[in-house]
Amino acid sequence: MRKRYLMTPGPTPVPAEVLLSMAEPIIHHRTPEFSKILAQVVEDLKYVFETRGDVLLFASSGTGVMESSVVNCFSPGDKVVVSRNGKFGDRNYHLAKTYGLDVVDLQYEWTSVIEPDDIAAELEKDPHIKGVFVTQSETSSGVLNDVKAVGKIVRGYTEAVLIVDSITGIGAVECKTDEWGLDVVMTGSQKGLMLPPGLAAVSVSEKAWGHVEKARLPRFYFDWTKAKKSIAKETTPFTPPVSLIIGLGKALALIREEGLESVIGRHAILAEAVRAGVVALGLKLFAPPEGRGNAVTPVWAPEGVDGGRIPKIMSDKYGVTIAGGQDEYKGKIFRLGHLGYFDRFDIITTLSALEMTLNELGYPIELGMGVAAAEVIFEENPF
């Protein structure tokens, strides 16, 4: 027997009560029973997104709502700024290019944060820029970009909307949609919302609705106007993923019960403990100190150790699934997830499996040092 532990930044573990709620016999989506659940889910999503604006749901992965932002907000040839410092920022770039937008490409190293001043400079040069894309929590690098600062800048330009990929941000780090002036914010179910993959949510501000009215890119399934009209009637334009929405209702109730601030506070402590643990083992963190998120901790594989072997041994031998590096960092880094349904002993398990793996690979560590460092953080920060 090998018990399995899912320690990746998506998909993430799903609480038993959420799983059980999704195992109930299926109900029809055009019923008062489902409408009531959907209405509550939308209200609770607004709580999590910290918005009084609209939140729309789509049966898709996160990339679906990323694409929906492009097709709903823009027309061919519109000029947009894409800031990118990782794989998911790259996705925004490719999406914008695919749809024929005129892209100002602000590209940074994966190990750096994006610079809000560069965005300000582009907007100053051309105040008719229609949109700015930022990835808040860059899952490929663990970097947390300062969307609050970008919000302050973009707010000053009436023609530009700020589009934020918070797919691994929502529920793990602060993301104050209305207060920070974030026009479009996205997340996916398999992340901080503690659900299986298959559902994505996007918030849309009044300013963004202004863009939607003028946008001429073709859209059908991902048409935000259709989704908004249906949600106003407590339904969906197309068959929704009924079980996932029921599960989401349960997951959001858990988040409300804990309180959003506490949920984010828990993530901050777990992330700090992971960082303390890996540093105590003599390993180097990938993300820079000025921008480390709470969802995932990427770590450089030690010199002389093939980074690809670390996730493999952890999974094959100990049943602990972590993520490897992506694109050019494949084999060079590994990523420890701590997003969503995570508590202290998940971190202890991950660090323990990491220590045993490093030991097996001949990397000189003293067993227990990473775990001990994490325990100190937990003792100092009870929750």
Ligand X SMILES: Cc1ncc(COP(=O)(O)O)c(C=O)c1O
Chain residues in the site for ligand X (CB under 6 A): 10, 61-63, 88, 135, 137, 139, 165, 167-168, 188
Strand partners, 324: 334
126: left (phi over 0), alpha (psi -120 to 50) or beta: beta
Strand partners, 114: none
291 phi/psi in degrees, rounded to 5: -155, 70
The single-letter DSSP state of residue 329 is G
331: left (phi over 0), alpha (psi -120 to 50) or beta: left
The single-letter DSSP state of residue 153 is H
Which two three-digit tokens encode residue 346? 């998940």
The single-letter DSSP state of residue 275 is H
Nearest to 11 by CA among 349, 247, 175, 358: 247
How far is it, in rounded angstroms, from Cα 281 to Cα 263?
A: 27
For ligand X, the closer CB: 62 or 131? 62
Residues 140, 87: contact at Cβ < 8 Å?
yes
For ligand X, the closer CB: 62 or 181? 62
Tell me the longest C-alpha to C-alpha distance in the chain.
62
- Which positions ≥6 away from 156 have C-beta within 8 Å? 123
